[in-house]
């Protein structure tokens, strides 16, 4: 018995000694990769993120003073999609990422909430850079995405704001409008002076019949929310500075929503392809 215990102690000591030696000499490498996106979302670009960040990322400190001309927008989505690859609904990842920060080196930035996250996953469109997070609204934009864009060379860039549905839901239409107008009258003007074009998009409403969990919202809740969204759109379009483009979105398919809130696969491709083609 004693001999067996002595053998186990000796074996344990040897194992610990060699483990320490291996870690100390650098023979053992432990690589941890976060499941949350940081700078590059596509798996094939993950290993290149450091290189892109230091050599050519659009998210870097540069100044390019310029003056942007007024650009009046009247957006009508296109009916088709000239896509990248053979994508079908079955190929879309079943789990929605909490955040997308995708730098494709494009001159268009699409910035939004979970509706834009779904759009990225539905289209994988590389003609735009994507900045979007589920459940986000104006405060998240100010904290997370405004600094990224502010450090970017904005000459010739087009920044499309696709927020609003969460803002109206969380804070009410008046408070939501006040927050975004602060941005459009403030930092957005600075970006325009640096050579960017800034666009605000109208907000599309809910569909009660498509909601999976009807215990969350009553029919009256949905009606009131959609009215608030319409009022928000009307007030925002009237109050926007004249040098901020306004893109009017509308549904283009018979069943535009997959769950009552987020756009369907076909609607995502129509809406976002339409926005990108319009800006191109």
Q: Residue 251: which residues within 8 A CB-CB, separation 6 or more?
A: 204, 267
| Domains in the chain: ranges and CATH | 67-279 (3.40.50.1110)
CA 198/CA 246 separation, integer angstroms: 9
Res 179 pLDDT > 80: yes
Rg (Cα) of the chain, in Å, rounded? 24
pTM of the model: 0.69
| Token pair for 86 | 């053979």
Phi (first) and psi of residue 250, to 5 degrees = -155, 155
Give the pLDDT score at 174.
97
Q: Which residue has the tokens 């094939």?
A: 44
Of 23-32, 107-116, 249-258, where does mean pLDDT reach its minimum?
23-32
Res 158 pLDDT > 50: yes
Residues above pLDDT 70, as percent of the chain: 65
Q: Residue 86: which residues within 8 A CB-CB, separation 6 or more?
A: none
94 vs 164: which has the higher pLDDT:
164
User: For 101, which DSSP code?
Assistant: E
């Amino acid at each position: 018995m004693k001999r067996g215990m002595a053998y186990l102690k000796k074996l344990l000591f040897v194992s610990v000694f060699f483990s320490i030696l291996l870690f100390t000499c650098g023979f053992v490498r432990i690589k941890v990769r976060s499941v949350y996106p940081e700078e590059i979302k596509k798996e094939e670009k993950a290993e290149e993120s450091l290189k892109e960040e230091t050599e050519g990322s659009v998210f870097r400190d540069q100044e390019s003073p310029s003056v942007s001309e007024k650009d009046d927008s009247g957006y009508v989505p296109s009916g088709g999609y000239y896509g990248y690859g053979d994508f079908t609904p079955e190929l879309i990842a079943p789990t929605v990422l909490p955040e997308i920060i995708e730098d494709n080196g494009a001159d268009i930035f699409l910035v939004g909430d979970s509706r834009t996250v779904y759009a990225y996953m539905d289209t994988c469109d590389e003609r735009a850079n994507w900045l979007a997070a589920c459940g986000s609204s104006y405060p998240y934009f100010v904290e997370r995405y405004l600094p990224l864009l502010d450090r970017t060379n904005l000459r010739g860039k087009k920044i499309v704001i696709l927020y609003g549905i969460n803002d109206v839901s969380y804070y009410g239409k008046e408070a939501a409008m006040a927050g975004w107008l602060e941005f459009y009258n403030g930092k957005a003007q600075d970006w325009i002076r640096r050579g960017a074009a800034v666009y605000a998009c109208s907000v599309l409403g809910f569909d009660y019949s498509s909601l999976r969990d009807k215990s969350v919202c009553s029919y009256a809740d949905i009606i009131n929310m959609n009215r608030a969204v319409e009022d928000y759109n009307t007030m925002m379009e009237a109050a926007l500075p004249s040098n901020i483009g306004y893109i009017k979105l509308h549904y283009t398919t018979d069943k535009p929503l997959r769950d009552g809130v987020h756009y369907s696969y076909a609607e995502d491709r129509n809406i976002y392809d339409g926005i990108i083609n319009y800006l191109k």
